[in-house]
Structures are given as structure tokens and as C-alpha cells.
Amino acid sequence: MSRPEHFAPPEIFYNQDESVKYTTNSRIMEIQANMTNRALELLALPENKPCYILDIGCGSGLSGEVISEAGHEWVGVDISADMLNVARDREVDGDLFLWDMGHGMSFRPGTFDGAISISALQWLCNQDKTENIPQVRLKKFFQSLYNCLARGARAVFQFYPETPKQIELITTAAMRCGFAGGLVVDFPHSTKAKKFFLCLLAGSPQEYVQPRAVGEDYTGDEDTTHVAYSAGRDKAAGSAPSRLGKKKQKDSIKSKNWVIKKKERRRRQGLEVANDSKYTARKRRPKF
């Protein structure tokens, strides 16, 4: 697949058309929701405690909605004004900022209980202006992020590195700024389902335990013949692997349950919501 980074800087690439397209495409919505869920899992927040999360590259708020559903408050920053306008029109719960992550995050020290970023970090490796030097921007970004995270808080970045060199560039920049952590690669043996998550801990390196990747052909005690790619997580809900254990299964996006839950949530917020009927979330036939 082609890379959007090669076409234009993010603030120009994600123009009005692209932002609307991005947000109404149910495939992208589902992928984004899945990756956000996984990122939240890797964030290892204390259970049943509402937290204050920073979403870097929040875009139209697809990831933010998942954070809200998990019961947390969030602040989103993005460089594309059009994306943020879409987010505002969708009335997401978080606070939005037009912000360039390469300029650093100027929040007070210890503000956030965690930070996530979905498909944004690779943009920092692109030099689209002469004065934008990736190394400098990465350093500025990670330094300021380290400052605004609470001690012991984590930051999880899902990103699409182009080359192994890019991964090295990003991880060394993060480690130099005092983060402990490493790269978690889900489905490492699949070209399509492979997902890179950079997990960072703002605190002492001894506390960091590398999370286990999903879909890895681990050479544990049992099940050594296990096939690497289990085709679970990124397929529609219902075939999720047993790794999820007792956790509740998520409704797939735009399914009836999902729509009803979303309507309920918005009702609780006191927004105007259409009544439920037998037509709710029913698909329109092509002849309509």
C-alpha cells in the first residue's frame, strides 16, 4: 500500500475530503477501534479507575471514542485542522488542540496517567520542510512527553515504520529521553496483520515488563506446533482468540448492539437522540 507520508505533510494530506472519507469508512473505523483497544490494553491502567489520557494524533476522534467508552477522560492533539473539525462536528468528549507533536507537548509535569497515539508517530520521521529535522523533533517530542506524564505512567504508540532504520531512530530517541520500554510486534509473521506498538514507561527501567505480543509463535511449554498467525484479532468480533479470556467481547462497529450502546451513552450525556425502534441500525437495501 502507498504511504500517505510520501504525498504531503499531514496538515495538507488530511484535508476536508480526506478527513471525512477517513471517518466514514467503516473498515478504517474498525481497524482504528481495534488498535486503540489493544493500545489501552498495553497501557495497563489501574482497573475501574477513570484516568486522564493524552491522545497524540487524535484525528477525527475515532480513538478518543474508544477511550471514552472505557470510562476515561482524554485530551487530543492533531496537526490537521480539518480532522479536528470533523471531530468537533461528531461531538467527541475530549478536549481538542491544533498542535504539532514535533513542537513538544507543553502540559504541566505529571499531568497525564497515560498517552496513546494511533498511526501518527511515523509522520515525525518525515522531513517535509528544511527546518523539520526528524531527530530534533523526535527528541523534543519525547522529552516533553516524559515531562507531562505521571511517574510510572505508560505511553503506547501504534505506528507504521517504513524501514528498520526508522524504528531504530524512534526507539533510540525515546530511550535517550529517559523512557524505559520496547517494541511489541503483534502478528510478527503476517505481512498484513502485523502491528507495531512502541510501549514506553516514564519511570525506572526495573518496573518495565515487556508485554507479550499477540499472535506470536511463542516457544512456550505447550502448543509448539501452534500456527503463528491466528487470524483472530483483526477479523470481525466473534472469532477472537481465547487470549482475551473472561473479558467481555466488543461489539463490532455499526452493529445493532454498538448503535444501541452508543445511543444510550449519548442519551446519558443529555444529547438529543432518536428513539429506538425496530428499524434501528437496520441496513438499507440497495433498492431503497
Partner 1 sequence: MRILTHNMLMCNVKKCNMQGYPLKIVPSQVETVENEFNPEFIAHMIPKLDWNGVISAAADLNITNLPPTIPAGAASDETFLRSLHGLLLDITIVDGQLVCKNCGRSYKVSGGIPNMLLNEDEV
What is the nearest approach in angstroms of partner 1 to the Cβ of residue 271? 9
* Window contacting partner 1 (CB under 8 A); options: 79-87, 172-180, 198-206, 225-233: 79-87
By the rule CB under 8 A, 77 interacts with partner 1: yes
Specify the long-range contacts of residues 173-178, CB closer than 8 Å, at least 24 apart.
Answer: 173/135, 173/138, 173/139, 173/141, 173/142, 174/138, 174/142, 174/198, 174/200, 176/139, 176/142, 177/139, 177/142, 177/143, 177/145, 177/146, 178/146, 178/202
d(CA 267, CA 59): 24
How far, CA to CA in Å, does 152 sit from each of 170, 179, 195? 21, 10, 25
Task: Closer to partner 1 by CB, 133 or 231: give it.
Answer: 133
By the rule CB under 8 A, 75 interacts with partner 1: yes
Q: Which three cell numbers stand for residue 67?
A: 477511550
Please, how many CA atoms are within 13 Å of residue 220, restricted to the half-sphere of its CB? 8
Site size with partner 1, rule: CB under 8 A: 32
Binding-site string for partner 1 from residue 232 to residue 271, where x marks contact by CB under 8 A and - marks none: ------------------------------------xxx-
33, 86, 96, 149: which one binds partner 1 (CB under 8 A):
96
State the residue for C-alpha cell 485542522: 81
Task: Closer to partner 1 by CB, 81 or 236: give it.
Answer: 81
By the rule CB under 8 A, 35 interacts with partner 1: no
12, 110, 172, 204: which one binds partner 1 (CB under 8 A):
110
* Window contacting partner 1 (CB under 8 A); options: 31-39, 72-80, 226-234, 272-280: 72-80
Q: Which three cell numbers stand for residue 159?
A: 505506528
Task: Closer to partner 1 by CB, 98 or 236: give it.
Answer: 98
Task: Closer to partner 1 by CB, 49 or 246: give it.
Answer: 49
By the rule CB under 8 A, 39 interacts with partner 1: no
By the rule CB under 8 A, 99 interacts with partner 1: yes
State the residue for C-alpha cell 487470549: 243
Non-local (6+) Cβ contacts of 38 within 8 A are: 158, 186, 195, 197, 214, 233
- DSSP-derived 3-state class of residue 181: strand
d(CA 112, CA 155): 10
Phi, psi of 95 (to 5 degrees): -85, 140
Task: Closer to partner 1 by CB, 96 or 180: give it.
Answer: 96
By the rule CB under 8 A, 139 interacts with partner 1: no
d(CA 112, CA 147): 10
7, 16, 98, 256: which one binds partner 1 (CB under 8 A):
98
By the rule CB under 8 A, 58 interacts with partner 1: no
Binding residues for partner 1 (CB under 8 A): 49-52, 73, 75, 77, 79, 81, 84-85, 88, 93, 95-100, 103-104, 106-108, 110-111, 131, 140, 148, 268-270
